[in-house]
Amino acid sequence: MSTTDTSGRPAKRLSTSGTKRVLPGFGLSLGISLFFISLVLLLPITGLVIRAGGMGWEQFWFVVTDPRVVASYKVTALAALAASLFNCVFGLLMAWVLVRYEFPGKRFLDAIMDLPFALPTAVAGITLATLFSENGWYGQLLSQIGIEVAFTPLGIVIAMAFTSVPFVVRTVQPVLEELAPEDEEAAVSLGASDATVFRRILFPTLWPAIVTGGALSFARSLGEYGAVIFIAGNSPYVSEVISLMIFVRLEEYDFPAASAIAAVVMVTSLILLLVINVWQGRYLKRLNGG
Amino acid sequence: MSIEVQGINKFFDTFQALHDIDLTIPDGQLTALLGPSGSGKTTLLRIIAGLENPEQGRVLFNGRDVTQLHVRDRRVGFVFQHYALFRHMTVAQNVAFGLDVLPRKERPSKPEIRKRVADLLEMVQLDHLAGRYPVQLSGGQKQRIALARAMAMRPEILLLDEPFGALDAKVRKDLRRWLRNLHDELHFTSVFVTHDQEEALELSDQVVVMSNGRIEQMDSPLELYARPDSRFVFEFLGQVNVLSGKISEGTIRQGNAWVRLPDSCDNDDAQLYLRPHEVRLTQAPTEEAHLPFQIEAISVIGAEVRIELKPDGWACDELWEVGISHTEFNARRPQRGDRCYAVPEVGHLFCDHQAVPKTLDWSVAR
């Protein structure tokens, strides 16, 4: 935070100095932003690491490799993967419909796309659990063809998919809106079929946005608690998610163990987002230069 | 391959973009569609390509009706104003695209495609850029790659939508010349859209001037410039000087300005149109013309000196412009504010009650 405007030099000097920024308020706004980020993000994360760090490496390893916890990693990761893959496809479709076609109710549909974010996750969880339970609307129909959703890993997938679909829609939508129709027209005038245009022209352009949306969706699903907990059934080794394991440790007043598991989730999410960002940065650089 | 357009009408909602367009473009010619923005020239080009569908009318290639044929089956090369290169593909992949997407039966083998791409890149003199991505190219390079891509399918018709519109003046000129050479070498039929009259006149065999969705005139560049059919065409093709007045006794008059007409004319309201190079400047009026002016501005522009003139004792909507040579300028050294007289040499007379303008030549009468 150092610009000449805090140095108190006379105005005349300032206007002639080369480092003077045109946009005002850089120091103040950056300062507040950093302070806030420290307060709401860095501080709790540091606390978490310190808590988990207090327990020693061996004990840490013991806690995070407990068979029941490991099973919950698997369940959570697989369910989150399935949910985010589903969201990549469905979210792309939604974004496509919202951008490419005109139909009555389009704006309404666009608005309710954000509902999963606005809805308290517990509300979503209870609603989904009710709908998919054996005598719920969907559950009844599905049980007739032998599919059980509530209180199985499939239920976890559905809850995760529901709460994180806006990530994909909202990252793909603006990219799709900015696509120039000329690219598609050029491809068609060169003889490409509609399927080829999508595969070779549209998809490569949308790909970074889809991956980002998918990664956000995945990261969010890893930590989803409220929506999942009501529909998951929570039977050990089968349908327990990580966030539940953390909660269980907390209930046992085993704070270091809870922190240790939480740290594993956090590091995984961070690494994932970092990798995606680096990869995307490279891909976009090839497209847009820089 | 010749292109024929018959009775095309095109609407966008309630707005009629094209009115009854009839047009024949002979095989192997380079034709310009020239007009101001909103004149329908790009729409017409897109209809020929199949990117738009007309509400009425037909498009024929070599006498074959292609109106219902999809773009992808018309086999025309189309070049877009903003290049429309595929950003995620290298230059070579861009050029190869048309060949790559052919059905397996018709698709050449991989080495053959590579050979074709290399030849095309050589044709546009950019073979050293095969591995680059579009973002690493300059505007002129991008447009040449776009052209190579369109030519990969060996189309017999090449359509270009404002191909030089986004380029700077120097590159524009080079590329124009280069396209002309390429056209002369390969003899495809090409149509390009432009709003730049100089580009149209320089590059094409035939110019189609359009305004408000109609064809105003279609002619060779020389004919078009020498004998425009309408006031619009005359004004659109370059700077004009106008004297509007009344004709009586073979003289057109307004205020204290008059010009004696060399040919007999009916009494009528009329406008006399003169190009900057069709006017001489003198110190005193002649017996043919009395057009008093005051010099408003003098600008030395390249090969000639442009003099802007304000009418003195009569009126016109826009200032007159006369171009004189540097030699003439240096001999007389006119100053701003000087009084002078214009003498027409060749002019075009548009009478309100006559559809066709009359070309006047004072030097013949003299």
User: What is the DSSP track for chain A?
Assistant: ---GGGTT--HHHHHHSTT--SSS-HHHHHHHHHHHHIIIIIHHHHHHHHHHHTT-HHHHHHHHT-HHHHHHHHHHHHHHHHHHHHHHHHHHHHHHHHHH---TTHHHHHHHTTHHHHS-HHHHHHHHHHHHSTTSHHHHHHHHTT---TTSHHHHHHHHHHHHHHHHHHHHHHHHHH--HHHHHHHHHTT--HHHIIIIIIHHHHHHHHHHHHHHHHHHHHH--HHHHHHH---TTTS--HHHHHHHHHHTT-HHHHHHHHHHHHHHHHHHHHHHHHHHHHHHHHHH--
Instruction: Give which of A30, A32, A25, A34 is closest to A6, Cα–Cα.
Output: A25
Are B196 and B89 within one domain? yes
Which chain A residues are within 8 Å of B51, Cβ to Cβ? Answer: 185, 189
Per-residue confidence band for A290, with pLDDT thresholds at 50, 70 and 90: low
Q: Can you tell me the mean pLDDT for B210-219?
A: 92
Which chain A residues are within 8 Å of B87, Cβ to Cβ? Answer: 205, 287-288
Q: What is the CATH number of the domain that holds B317?
A: 2.40.50.140
With an 8 Å Cβ cutoff, are A180 and B82 in contact? yes
Q: In Å, how far is A137's CA from the nearest CA of chain B?
A: 45
For A164-211, how does the pLDDT look when each residue is reduced to its tens digit (9 = 90+)? Answer: 999 999 999 999 998 888 899 999 999 999 999 999 999 988 988 999
Chain A residue closest in CA terms to B50 = A189
Are B99 and B162 within one domain? yes
With an 8 Å Cβ cutoff, are A201 and B101 in contact? no
- Residue B123 to residues A183, B72, B127, B255, Cα–Cα distance (Å): 23, 24, 8, 61
- Provide the CA A19 distance to its chain's centre, in angstroms: 39
Position A132, amino acid = F
Per-residue confidence band for A14, with pLDDT thresholds at 50, 70 and 90: very low
For residue B357, being part of any structural domain is answered with: yes
- From CA B71, how far away is CA A184, in angstroms rounded? 12
pLDDT at B366: 56
Sequence-ordered alpha helix ranges (H) in B63-136: 71-74, 91-100, 110-123
Q: Can you tell me the mean pLDDT for A228-249?
A: 87
Given a cut of 80, is residue A6 above it in pLDDT?
A: no
Are B123 and B143 within one domain? yes
CB distance from B96 to chain A under 8 Å?
no
Are B264 and B178 within one domain? no
CB distance from B136 to chain A under 8 Å?
yes
Ordered DSSP codes for B287-335? SSEE-EEEEEEEEEETTEEEEEEEESSS--SS-EEEEEEHHHHHHH---
CB distance from B131 to chain A under 8 Å?
no
Given a cut of 60, is residue A53 above it in pLDDT?
A: yes
Which chain A residues are within 8 Å of B88, Cβ to Cβ? Answer: 204-205, 286-287
pLDDT at B310: 92
With an 8 Å Cβ cutoff, are B71 and A186 in contact? no
Of B206, B228, B250, which residue constitutes the final position of a domain?
Answer: B228
Size of interface A-B (CB pairs under 8 A): 73
Chain B residue closest in CA terms to A197 = B101
Query: Could you give the 3-state DSSP secondary structure of residue B132?
Result: coil
Residue ranges making up the domain that contains B59:
3-228
Which chain A residues are within 8 Å of B97, Cβ to Cβ? Answer: 187, 190, 192, 200
Long-range contacts of A268-271 (CB under 8 A, 24+ apart): A268/A222, A269/A219, A269/A222, A269/A223
Please name the member of A182, A200, A289 whose beta carbon is closest to the beta carbon of B82.
A182
Q: In Å, how far is B155's CA from the nearest CA of chain A?
A: 10
Given a cut of 90, is residue A11 above it in pLDDT?
A: no
Which chain A residues are within 8 Å of B86, Cβ to Cβ? Answer: 183, 186-187, 200-201
Query: Could you give the 3-state DSSP secondary structure of residue B108?
Result: coil
Chain A residue closest in CA terms to B82 = A182
CB distance from B145 to chain A under 8 Å?
no
Are B183 and B268 within one domain? no
Q: Can you tell me the mean pLDDT for B306-310?
A: 91
With an 8 Å Cβ cutoff, are B84 and A186 in contact? yes
Highest mean pLDDT among A285-289, B16-20, B298-302: B16-20
Q: Can you tell me the mean pLDDT for B162-179?
A: 85
Are B123 and B213 within one domain? yes
pLDDT at B141: 92
For A113-146, how does the pLDDT look when each residue is reduced to its tens digit (9 = 90+)? Answer: 988 888 898 899 899 988 988 888 888 888 888 8
Q: Which residues contact B104 (CB under 8 A, 6 or more apart)?
A: none
For residue B233, being part of any structural domain is answered with: no
For B139-158, how does the pLDDT look when each residue is reduced to its tens digit (9 = 90+)? Answer: 889 999 999 999 888 888 99
Which chain A residues are within 8 Å of B50, Cβ to Cβ? Answer: 189
ipTM above 0.85, yes or no: no
- From CA B3, how far away is CA A287, in angstroms rounded? 37
Of B228, B262, B296, which residue constitutes the final position of a domain?
Answer: B228
With an 8 Å Cβ cutoff, are A191 and B72 in contact? yes
- From CA A139, how far away is CA B328, in angstroms rounded? 96
Are B41 and B158 within one domain? yes
Per-residue confidence band for B358, with pLDDT thresholds at 50, 70 and 90: confident
Instruction: Give which of B187, B150, B147, B190 is closest to B167, Cα–Cα.
Output: B147
Given a cut of 60, is residue A5 above it in pLDDT?
A: no
Rg (CA), chain A: 24
Interface test with B, best of A182, A184, A185, A190 (most B CBs within 10 A): A190
Q: Can you tell me the mean pLDDT for A209-221?
A: 92
Residue labelled with tokens 């610009």? A3
Structure tokens at A84: 């985010």
Please name the member of B71, B82, B102 whose beta carbon is closest to the beta carbon of A188.
B71
pLDDT at A2: 41
For residue B258, being part of any structural domain is answered with: yes
Which chain A residues are within 8 Å of B149, Cβ to Cβ? Answer: 186, 190
For residue B234, being part of any structural domain is answered with: no
Are B52 and B121 within one domain? yes
Given a cut of 80, is residue B315 above it in pLDDT?
A: yes
- Provide the CA B291 distance to its chain's centre, in angstroms: 32
Ramachandran bin of B28, using left for φ above 0, alpha for ψ from -120 to 50, beta for the remaining angles? left
Query: Could you give the 3-state DSSP secondary structure of residue B144?
Result: helix
- From CA B259, how far away is CA A289, in angstroms rounded? 62
Are B58 and B177 within one domain? yes
Per-residue confidence band for B365, with pLDDT thresholds at 50, 70 and 90: low
For A61-120, how does the pLDDT look when each residue is reduced to its tens digit (9 = 90+)? Answer: 888 899 999 999 999 999 999 999 999 999 999 999 999 888 999 999 999 998 888 889
Between positions 43 and 72 of B, the ones with CB within 8 A of A are 49-51, 71-72
CB distance from B77 to chain A under 8 Å?
yes
Given a cut of 80, is residue A272 above it in pLDDT?
A: yes
With an 8 Å Cβ cutoff, are A205 and B87 in contact? yes
With an 8 Å Cβ cutoff, are A200 and B97 in contact? yes
With an 8 Å Cβ cutoff, are A187 and B97 in contact? yes
Partnered with residue B222 across adjacent β-strands are none
Extract the runs of DSSP E, i.e. beta strands, from B178-311.
189-194, 206-211, 214-219, 241-248, 251-254, 257-260, 268-274, 279-282, 289-290, 292-301, 304-311
Interface test with A, best of B78, B105, B160 (most A CBs within 10 A): B78
For residue B323, being part of any structural domain is answered with: yes
To the nearest whole percent, how much of chain A has pLDDT over 70? 92
For B183-213, how does the pLDDT look when each residue is reduced to its tens digit (9 = 90+)? Answer: 888 888 999 999 888 888 888 999 999 999 9
Please name the member of B78, B133, B135 whose beta carbon is closest to the beta carbon of A189.
B78
- Listed by start position, the domains of chain A span 22-53, 56-288
Please name the member of B72, B86, B88 whose beta carbon is closest to the beta carbon of A188.
B72
Q: What is the CATH number of the domain that holds B143?
A: 3.40.50.300
Which superfamily, per CATH, for A56-288?
MetI-like (1.10.3720.10)
With an 8 Å Cβ cutoff, are A190 and B102 in contact? no
Which chain B residues are within 8 Å of A280, Cβ to Cβ? Answer: none
- Residue B279 to residues B258, B276, B304, Cα–Cα distance (Å): 14, 6, 14
pLDDT at A269: 87
Are B298 and B271 within one domain? yes
Are B114 and B248 within one domain? no
Instruction: Give which of A197, A199, A203 is closest to A184, Cα–Cα.
Output: A197
Sign of dihedral through CA atoms A53, A58, A59, A63?
Answer: positive
Total domains, chain B? 2
Instruction: Find out whether A140 and A245 touch, Cβ atoms under 8 Å.
Output: no
pLDDT at A19: 64
Of B228, B251, B286, which residue constitutes the final position of a domain?
Answer: B228
Q: Can you tell me the mean pLDDT for B75-100?
A: 92
Parallel, antiparallel, or unpaired: how do β-strands B346-351 and B358-361 relate? antiparallel
pLDDT at A146: 83
Which chain B residues are within 8 Å of A183, Cβ to Cβ? Answer: 84, 86
Extract the runs of DSSP E, i.e. beta strands, from B3-141.
3-12, 15-25, 30-34, 56-61, 64-65, 76-79
Which chain B residues are within 8 Å of A194, Cβ to Cβ? Answer: none
Are B121 and B159 within one domain? yes
pLDDT at B250: 84
